[in-house]
Chain A
C-alpha cells in the first residue's frame, strides 16, 4: 500500500477517525499497532513475523540490558540483539550477494566453487526497521534511555506505519516519549500537515513519476544515447530520486503529524549543499545521523587520529552504500562518497576553516558538489557496473557513442520554476506561515484547487517508491 494510492487514503481516513474518536491513550496505541500491522500485511503478511521477531528480541534485550548485573551481561544481550537483527537482515538482503561474490572471487583465483542462493524476496522496509530497533537497544546499552516495560509501546515504535517501510528512521529517544502522553487533536497543525502531504504527493506523483520514463529509457540502454541525453538523464535521475524519497518522507511526516506524532526531518534541500559533508547533513538525515552515532562514532570517529578518521569515514560510507542494497554498484556509490568526504576533510585541514564563502564561490561550490553527487548517482542507478562506467565516462568527459535523444517536453521550462519554488520553500518556513496566517476557508479553497492540479499531474499507474527496495 503506497501513500499515493486511493486505498491508502481510505485506510488512513478510517484509522484517523477511529483514532481521534478514542480518548484512552492505551486504546489509541492499540489502534495504531493494528493499523500498522494491517498496513504492512497489505504488502505481504508473512513478513510480519520478522517485525514481531525484531520487536520481541529488542524488547527483551533492552530490559535484560538494563537489569543486567554486570557489564559483561549487558554486552551479551546487546550482541544477541545485534546478531538477531543483523542476521535477519543479512539472510534476506545480503546472503545471495556475498555468496555470489565469494564464489566469483574463488573462481577468479582458480578455485572452482559453486554457490547457493536463497530463493527469497526482500521484505519491504527491513533495512529501516532493523536500524530503528537497533538504535533502541544500543541507546539502552549506552544508558541514553531507559528500557520500556510496555511491549505495546515498543511494538508501536517498531511498526508505526507512516515510517515503517521507508523511514524516516526514528530513534526511540525521539518517539517513545510521545507515546506516554495523550495526543490532542487541537494541537495538531492540520493545515501544515495537509500542505506537507500535498507537497510530498506532488514531489512523488507529479515530478518523480513523470521524470521516471525518461530516466528508465536512457539508463536501460545508455549505449544508444547521445551526450545531451545522458547528461539530461543523470540530472533527471538526481531530481527523481530526491523527489521520490523526500516526497515519501514529507508524506510520512505529515501522516504522523495528523495522528499527533512528530517525526524528524529527513531532507533539507540537499542539492544546495556547498560540500559533501554538508550534503550528508541534508540528505537522508536520519540515516546519516544513525550511521554517525552508531557506526562512525563506535569505530572511533575522529578521536583516534587523522588516518583512522579517514578509515572510519570510508568504512561508514561503504557500509552506508551497502545498506542501500546488495550490489557492487551501491558499494561503489558509498566508496565515492567516502572518498569525497575524506577529500573534503583533507582540504579543510589545508585551507583556513571557518571563513564564509563569497556568493559566487558559494555558487561554484554548490555546482561542484552537485556535479559530484550526480556522478555518484550514476553508480546508484545504472543496471550494472558496465553501464555505470559508460555513463560516468560520458558525464566526466562527454563523447557518447550513441545518437539517441529524449523528448524534453515542458520540463525544460518548468525546471527553473520548480527549483526556485524548492529554494523558497527551504528558505521560508511556509508550513508555519500557512498554519498561523491562512484562514480555514482560504486554505480549503486553495487545497481543493491544488488537489485537482496534482491529480492532473499524476501519470497513470503506480511506481513504487525507490527507497522501498532498500
Chain B
C-alpha cells in the first residue's frame, strides 16, 4: 500500500487538427464503412454459427402435468401439439359448446410451443405414468424435429438470421391466402422497414436485449408474419433454392441437421417420413389403451410444409385413424377470417372460440364412435 505509483494514462494523446469539412465527410464515410463491415460480418456469422437440436421445454411440461392432475383424473380428450394447439384450443369453451349439443365431454389442452412428434411420445409416456385416465388423445402432427432459435447458440444466431425473413416476406405474399395477403400488403412497408431495421441494423437484437421476453403477444421482437416462415422440407427448400442462391447453403445445412435429429439418422425428412412418424405416435397411444386422433390446426395456405402429409393421412388413414382437419379455408371460411388470427399461424382468443364451435360436434361424434 505504501508505495503505490501513479498509473499511466489509459488513453493516448493526439495532436490537434483543424476541424474541416473534409474531416466531417471522412467521419461520415468511416461510419458507413463500419456499418457495411458489420452487415457483412453478420452475414458471415449467420451462415457459420452452428445450430443444435433443442430440448423440450421441460419446466413447461412439468407445469402442465401438475395442472392436468389438478384438473381431474379422467379426460375424454387431451390435445397434444404445438403452439397452434396451445393457443387455438379452448377446453372450457369446447366443453360448453359440446354440452349445448347434448354431449358431456371433458377436454384438456396439452399444447406446448414447438412440441414435435418425438416429444409428444415422451409426454405420452409421462401422462401414462401419472395414471390419468384418458379416452382419446388428439395430437397435432407437428413435423419439426429440429427447433432452431431457442437455445444458447441459436439465440445468437437469431440475430443474424436476417435476409431469410425479409426475402421470405416478399416471396410469401404471392402464396398467402387473400385475407392475410391484404393484411400484409396493408402493412408491407412497415414490415419491410421493421425487418430491415430489426435484422440488418441490429436494432432487433438490441431491442430483444432490451426487452428480453419470449412472449409473442408483445409483438415487439418476432413479427408474426415474418416469424411464420421457415423452410422445413424439400418442397419449400426447392422454392428457396430457385429464388435465392445463398439459401441453397442454408437449406442444405438445415436439412443435414434435421436428418441427424431424426429417429433414423439415415432417413430422409420427407412427407413420407413424417407419415410414418404419425403412425408411430398413433401406435404408441394405442399401446396405452387410449384412442388416437389427429388434428390439423388452421394455418394459412402459404405454410405449405404440412400439406402433403395432410393429404396423405386424410386419403389413407381416415378409417383407422380419425383425422380432424381444420386446416381447410374452403370449408371453414368463417374461421379463416383475419380477425381470428393472432398472427399468420396462431388463432387468437376469438378464433379459438370459433374453432371450439366447429370442433365440439366433431368431438361429440368421435366420442359416440369410440
Partners in one complex: yes
B197 in the interface (beta carbon within 8 A): no
Q: Is the CB of A453 within 8 A of B33?
A: no
Alpha-carbon gap, A229 to B203, bound state (A): 38
Given A445-B37, A452-B38, A462-B209: A292 and B4 interface contact (C-beta under 8 Å): yes
Given A449-B37, A456-B49: A444 and B7 interface contact (C-beta under 8 Å): no
Alpha-carbon gap, A253 to B11, bound state (A): 8
Q: Which residues of B contact A316 (CB under 8 A)?
A: 1
Q: Is the CB of B30 within 8 A of A443?
A: yes
Cross-interface CB contact of B7 among A265, A341, A431, A455, cutoff 8 Å: A265
CB distance from A355 to the nearest CB of B (A): 16
CB distance from B20 to the nearest CB of A (A): 9
Q: Is the CB of A445 within 8 A of B33?
A: yes
- Contact pattern, A 295-337, Cβ under 8 Å of B = 1, otherwise 0: 0100001100000000001001000000000000000000000
Cross-interface CB contact of A280 among B1, B10, B15, cutoff 8 Å: B1
Question: Which of A99-107, A186-194, A236-244, A356-364 lies at the interface with chain B?
Answer: A186-194
Q: Is the CB of B1 within 8 A of A455?
A: no
Most chain B CB within 10 A, of A186, A262, A292, A460, is at A460
Q: Which residues of B contact A449 (CB under 8 A)?
A: 37-38, 40-41
CB distance from A408 to the nearest CB of B (A): 14
Question: Which of B108-116, B153-161, B240-248 lies at the interface with chain A?
Answer: B153-161
Cross-interface CB contact of A456 among B19, B33, B159, B208, cutoff 8 Å: B159
- Contact pattern, B 1-29, Cβ under 8 Å of A = 1, otherwise 0: 11111011111111111110001001001
Classify the interface of chain A: helix, strand, loop or mixed. Answer: helix
Q: Which residues of A contact B9 (CB under 8 A)?
A: 262, 264-265
Alpha-carbon gap, A280 to B205, bound state (A): 39
Q: Output the nearest chain B residue to A7 by Cβ-Cβ distance.
A: B210
Alpha-carbon gap, A264 to B5, bound state (A): 12
Alpha-carbon gap, A262 to B41, bound state (A): 32
A184 in the interface (beta carbon within 8 A): yes
B212 in the interface (beta carbon within 8 A): yes
Given A280-B4, A296-B1, A461-B212: A186 and B16 interface contact (C-beta under 8 Å): yes
B42 in the interface (beta carbon within 8 A): yes
Given A447-B34, A448-B38: A435 and B14 interface contact (C-beta under 8 Å): yes
Alpha-carbon gap, A302 to B26, bound state (A): 55
Alpha-carbon gap, A343 to B36, bound state (A): 56
Given A186-B18, A292-B1: A196 and B10 interface contact (C-beta under 8 Å): yes
Most chain B CB within 10 A, of A6, A193, A280, is at A6
- 30 CB-based A-B contacts, threshold 8 Å: A7-B210, A9-B206, A186-B14, A186-B23, A189-B11, A196-B10, A263-B10, A264-B7, A281-B4, A285-B7, A291-B1, A292-B1, A316-B1, A341-B1, A431-B12, A432-B12, A435-B14, A440-B29, A440-B30, A447-B34, A447-B37, A448-B34, A451-B202, A452-B160, A453-B41, A453-B45, A456-B45, A456-B156, A460-B209, A462-B212
The 9 closest A-B pairs by CB, nearest first: A448-B37, A452-B41, A6-B206, A448-B38, A432-B12, A444-B33, A444-B34, A265-B7, A449-B41
